[in-house]
Amino acid sequence: MSLPVDPAERHRQVAAGFTDRVRAVTDWDAPSPVAAWRTRDVVGHLVEWFPSFLEHGAGVTLAHGPDADVDPVAAWQVHSDAVQELLDDPATAGKVLSNRHLGEVPLPEAVDRFYTSDVFMHTWDLARGAGLDDRLDADACADMLAEMEPMADVLAASGQYGPRVAVPDDADAQTRLLGLIGRDPFWTPPAP
């Protein structure tokens, strides 16, 4: 099953998958596959970087909940609901995000390309760190891999991803995508 094309519907589906994992986490201090991040830091990352990106690029201020260090579930829910409300608002279609590195991008496209895809990939980080179901939509993984693979050098140089992790040549799309973005698809939490 592939993710919807419409940015609002894609976010709704991707955020729902992340929300399911958020609600199932039992240890918010468990390590995650991202070096030096706990499971709560995965949520913290998503609720912290994107509001600033929107505010500076489009003049949009999102509602914010408690700090993810204090209440990651509520922090995520308030944030996710605010992003969905933005995407569901018909006025958003006419807004543009301006960024010196990206130029001008229609706001729904910017949210989809930079944020929803980030939530999608971090779903694996949260799930793996929390010992939950970490399977991602196979078609979406294949689509993202096809889009990102030609830009592997640019992604590596951006500092937004870790060094590429080698994976078997016959690995599935999720495993190859994770390796491309610098995740060890075979990572497991360290023994206590």
Q: What is the pLDDT of residues 178-190, one digit of tens each?
A: 999 999 999 998 8
Q: What DSSP character marks residue 189?
A: P
Q: Is residue 191 part of a domain?
A: no
Query: CA-to-CA distance for 84 and 188, rounded, in angstroms?
Result: 32
Do 94 and 148 lie in a common domain? Answer: no
Do 81 and 11 lie in a common domain? Answer: yes
Provide mean pLDDT across the span 166-172: 95
Provide mean pLDDT across the span 118-131: 97
Do 148 and 122 lie in a common domain? Answer: no
Q: Is residue 1 part of a domain?
A: no
**Residue that is last in its domain, among 133, 148, 164:** 133
Q: Is residue 2 part of a domain?
A: no
Which residue from 23, 24, 41 is spatially nearest to 32, judged by alpha carbons?
41
Span of 7-16, 50-59, 149-158 with lowest mean pLDDT? 149-158
Which residue from 136, 127, 178 is spatially nearest to 22, judged by alpha carbons?
127
User: Which range of residues forms the domain containing residue 147?
Assistant: 135-186
Q: Is the pLDDT of residue 8 over 80?
A: yes
Rg of the chain taking only CA atoms, in angstroms: 16
Which residue from 37, 3, 31 is spatially nearest to 17, judged by alpha carbons?
3
Q: Is the pLDDT of residue 1 over 70?
A: no
Q: What is the pLDDT of residues 38-89, one digit of tens each?
A: 999 999 999 999 999 999 999 999 999 999 999 999 999 999 999 999 999 9
Q: Is residue 151 part of a domain?
A: yes
- Which residue is it, tokens 């999102």? 62
Q: What is the pLDDT of residues 102-119, one digit of tens each?
A: 789 999 999 999 999 999
Q: Is residue 192 part of a domain?
A: no
| Residue at 139: amino acid letter | D
Do 81 and 123 lie in a common domain? Answer: yes
Do 89 and 150 lie in a common domain? Answer: no
Which residue from 63, 66, 94, 87 is spatially nearest to 15, judged by alpha carbons?
87
Q: Is residue 32 part of a domain?
A: yes
Check residue 154 and give its pLDDT.
83
Residue predicted with more confidence, 161 or 117: 117
Do 118 and 157 lie in a common domain? Answer: no
Do 129 and 139 lie in a common domain? Answer: no
Do 173 and 153 lie in a common domain? Answer: yes
Residue 131's pLDDT band, with cuts at 50, 70 and 90, is very high
Domain count, the chain: 2
Q: What is the CATH number of the domain that holds 29?
A: 1.20.120.450
Check residue 83 and give its pLDDT.
98
Q: Is residue 18 part of a domain?
A: yes
- Which residue is it, tokens 């500076």? 56
